[in-house]
Amino acid sequence: MTDLSPRHVLVTGAARGIGRAIAAGFVAAGERVTVLGRTPESAARARSELGAAHAVAADVTDAAALERALTQAAAQAGPIAVLVNNAGGAETAPLARSGVDTLRRMMALNLEPVLVAARAVVPGMKAQGGGRIVSVASTAGLKGYAYVSAYCAAKHAVVGLTRALALELATTGITVNAVCPGFTDTDLVGSAIDGLTAKTGRDRDDLLTEFTRHNPMGRLIRPEEVADAVLWLAGAQAGAVTGQAVAVAGGEL
């Protein structure tokens, strides 16, 4: 891969949670970071607070809008050398309340943007002699969890897409990997617990205890721990690592 340090790194879903921690890690490493948020306001706020170089906005479920945002980012800061697909979300529901529409929403939010973004950035990466694509999947992409069947299906699909693209791009200098966090201390997990409480009637504290029980370390993962794994996969030292789904889960699986 051509040395274009600092590299242009784009992180989707960078306004909060794991994405924010990932963007902050790349900024601290001296990379040229573009944060992509759902709205111009959230993206601009994240750029300012993190000290990132640029900000763009798009609803990642809108393929055309995502493509425009990636084109805008490349025009502002040069070809994207590292793409981090972090934007995503979950819906909780028992099977009786999960329909095809639920599955389509989860695929549109968690899977489709990974394909759209990869198609947009790979030509520029090839022109640079290589690049890094890292997607934030989940342990739900490696195993099942009750009440989030559509989300599990979407995250399993992200892992499958990652492995397939890694093989397709193996001779180009582009590596494609996923990180699979366990339950992480973010508002997404908080919202999931609230949703389960509302839909199942179970006590919130009991659900939080159950979430931490999944982790043999007995705690939630910190966003910064996920970010560290992403930064490693994006580094030169991981040049031979591709097609992998790296669990950051305290030994869960």
pLDDT tens digits, 104-141: 999 999 999 999 999 999 999 999 999 999 999 999 99
Which residue type does 237 have? Answer: Q
CATH architecture of 8-92+99-182+222-240: 3-Layer(aba) Sandwich (3.40)
Which among 151, 182, 226, 231 is annotated as catalytic? Answer: 151
Using DSSP's 3-state secondary structure scheme, residue 160 falls into helix
Instruction: Flag whether pLDDT at 1 surpasses 60.
Output: no
Instruction: Flag whether pLDDT at 26 surpasses 50.
Output: yes
- What pLDDT shows up at residue 210? 78
Annotated catalytic, 151?
Answer: yes
Q: Provide the H-helix boundaries in 9-39.
A: 17-28
147's enclosing H/E stretch is none
Instruction: Flag whether pLDDT at 2 surpasses 70.
Output: no
Domain ranges within the chain, ordered by starting residue: 8-92+99-182+222-240
Q: Quick check: bond before 6 cis, omega within 30?
A: yes
Pair of tokens at residue 4: 């274009």
Query: What backbone torsions phi and psi does residue 204 show, to the nearest 5 degrees?
Result: -65, -45
Q: pLDDT class for 194, splitting at 50, 70, 90?
A: confident
Q: pLDDT class for 182, splitting at 50, 70, 90?
A: very high
The mean per-residue pLDDT over the stretch 64-83 comes to: 98
CA torsion angle for 65, 36, 19, 22 (degrees, to 10)? 130
- What pLDDT shows up at residue 4? 52
Mean of pLDDT over the chain: 94
- Residue 220 vs residue 2, higher pLDDT: 220
Instruction: Flag whether pLDDT at 20 surpasses 70.
Output: yes
Q: Give how far Cα 152 sits from Cα of 108, 118, 196, 199, Å.
A: 13, 21, 15, 18
Q: Give how far Cα 236 sits from Cα of 6, 7, 108, 233, 246, Å.
A: 13, 12, 32, 8, 17
Q: pLDDT class for 23, splitting at 50, 70, 90?
A: very high
Share of the chain above pLDDT 70, in %: 98
pLDDT digits (tens, 9 = 90+) for 81-107: 999 999 999 998 899 999 999 999 999
**Residue 181 near residue 249, CB atoms below 8 Å:** yes
Instruction: Flag whether pLDDT at 18 surpasses 70.
Output: yes
